[in-house]
Amino acid sequence: MSKENNVPALDLEPDTPTEQTIEEIVASLGDTVGETRVDNPKMSVSNVDVFYAEKQAIFGVDLDIANNEVISMIGPSGCGKSTLLRCLNRMNDTIPICRVTGEITLDGEGIYSKETDPVLLRARVGMVFQKPNPFPKSIYENVAYGPRLHGLNRNKADLDDIVVNSLRKAGIYEEVKNRLDDAGTSLSGGQQQRLCIARTIACSPEVILMDEPCSALDPIATAKIEELIDELRENYAIAIVTHSMQQAARVSQRTAYFHLGKLVEVGDTDTIFTNPRHELTENYITGRFG
């Protein structure tokens, strides 16, 4: 895959009126509806703009991510939800033309500041990707990869413990305990995704970002992952991007609705789904577009 292909698709709403520029539409959306801030946030996004070369993909977003809570980001495709998620652990650094302004903090420290190291940041803010992407190694090696890199274990027994615990927390241990030496790619799609979650947990992150983690999975595997996300909430701050409103309703406590790179509305999941305040949110939730 060539580097040009990493850029997430920027296809905007097909029915975008051609007379208006995106900037004008975004300006017409007004301020974000709802409370963007929480008490004691784990991560905090303030006035963030993201550009791919000249194209602006995110417009002045403010958002907090709280401990022990799942926040879901929803919106039509191309609304910038994945882009924002990738900013939270600086995965966008891998795209040369991507530029981020504004401030994002983790425990009050700016993650784009000079002092923050992206490697350390990514160890603390883990990420689970849209398509399960286990390494072409054994199940054990997949999970042990992160701890080994970061030197989290003192010895082999330590590492074994980390691997087993991570697999257990990801709810996949029972299924794979007898074949830890099999290739990670030999698992089914749902198992692979849980393996990837175990792999992320093994680095003992503080925040877990999930980019449409179930979009490549069947309903049964999806249910298992959703269950898992709910359990993980006890120990981690979790942000999940999803295109399924049902999923957002099932797993998250708070929901943020994005449109054309703008955070339109944010609030308690129940409120958003039962009583949206912004017209666009309502349209989206009632299925008029998206």
Partner 1 sequence: MNNESQDTSATVSDTTEKVRKSLGKRYAREKRFKLFGVIAIVASLSFLAVLIISITIRGLPAFKQTFLNLDVTLDADTLGVDENPDEDALRKANYNGSIKNSLLALFPDVKKRKDKKALYKFVSTGGQYDLQAMVMADPSLIGQTINVWLPVGDDASGYLRGHIDTSVPEKKRRFKDNQITWIEELKADNKVQTKFNHTFFSRGDSREPEMAGIKGSLFGSILTLMVTLALSFPIAVATAIYLEEFAPKNRWTDIIEVNINNLAAVPSIVFGLLGLAIFINFFNLPRSAPIVGGLVLSLMTLPTIIISARAALKSVPPSIRDAALGLGASNLQVVFHHVLPLAMPGILTGTIIGMAQALGETAPLLMIGMVAFIVDVPTSLTDPATVLPVQIFQWADLPEKGFVEKTSAAIMVLLGFLIAMNAIAVLLRRKFEQKW
Partner 2 sequence: MLFLVIFILTAIAYVLGRSRAATLRKNGTLMHSLPRYYGYLTAIYTALPALIVLIIWSVAEPTILKKSTMGTLSAEVQSLPEGERNLVLNDIKNLATGGISQSANDSVRTAAAAHYAETRDRSRLLKSIAVILTALAGFFYGLKKIHSNTRARVAVERAIMIALIGCSCIAIFTTLGIVLSVLFESLRFFNKVPFTEFAFGLHWSPQTSIRADQVGSSGSFGAVPIFAGTLLISAIAMLVAVPFGLMSAIYLAEYASSTVRAWAKPLLEILAGIPTVVYGFFAALTVAPLIRNVGESIGLDVASESALAAGLVMGIMIIPFVSSLSDDVITAVPQAMRDGSLGLGATKSETIKKVVIPAALPGIVGGILLAVSRAIGETMIVVMAAGLAANLTINPLEAVTTVTVQIVTLLTGDQAFDSPKTLAAFALGLMLFVTTLILNVIALRTVRKYREQYD
Binding stretches for partner 2 (CB under 8 A): 1-3, 5-6, 89, 91, 94, 96, 119-124, 126-127, 129, 131, 133-137, 145-146, 149-150, 196, 199-200, 203
Kindly state the tokens that stand for 266. Answer: 């944010």
Shortest Å, Cβ 153 to partner 1:
8
Using CB under 8 A, pick the residue from 6, 46, 138, 165 that binds partner 1.
165
Using CB under 8 A, pick the residue from 151, 156, 220, 234 that binds partner 1.
151
Kindly state the tokens that stand for 9. Answer: 């698709």
Is residue 26 a contact residue for partner 1 (CB under 8 A)?
no
Is residue 191 a contact residue for partner 1 (CB under 8 A)?
no
The entry of partner 1, partner 2, none near residue 287 (CB within 5 to 8 angstroms by kind) is none
How distant is the alpha carbon of residue 93 from its chain centre?
A: 16
Is residue 164 a contact residue for partner 1 (CB under 8 A)?
yes
Nearer of residues 136 and 151 to partner 1, judged by Cβ: 151
Shortest Å, Cβ 19 to partner 2:
35
Is residue 203 a contact residue for partner 1 (CB under 8 A)?
yes
Shortest Å, Cβ 229 to partner 1:
18
Is residue 162 a contact residue for partner 1 (CB under 8 A)?
yes
Shortest Å, Cβ 163 to partner 2:
14
Shortest Å, Cβ 119 to partner 1:
6
- Three-state SS sequence of the chain: CCHHHHCCCCCCCCCCCCCCCHHHHHHHHCCCECCCCCCCEEEEEEEEEEEECCEEEEEEEEEEEECCCEEEEECCCCCCHHHHHHHHCCHHHHCCCEEEEEEEEECCEECCCCCCCHHHHHHHEEEECCCCCCCCCEHHHHHHHHHHHHCCCCCHHHHHHHHHHHHHHCCCHHHHCCCCCCEHHHCCHHHHHHHHHHHHHHCCCCEEEEECCCCCCCHHHHHHHHHHHHHHCCCCEEEEECCCHHHHHHHCCEEEEEECCEEEEEEEHHHHHHCCCCHHHHHHHCCCCC
C-alpha dist (Å) from residue 230 to 97, 253, 280: 36, 10, 28
Nearer of residues 154 and 288 to partner 1, judged by Cβ: 154
Nearer of residues 31 and 181 to partner 2, judged by Cβ: 181
Shortest Å, Cβ 113 to partner 2:
18
The stretch near partner 1 (CB under 8 A) out of 3-11, 196-204, 213-221, 239-247 is: 196-204
> What is the spatial distance between Cα 159 and Cα 15, in angstroms, rounded to a whole number?
53
Nearer of residues 7 and 152 to partner 1, judged by Cβ: 152
Contacts to partner 1 by CB under 8 A = 117, 119-120, 123-124, 149-152, 158, 161-162, 164-166, 201-204, 206
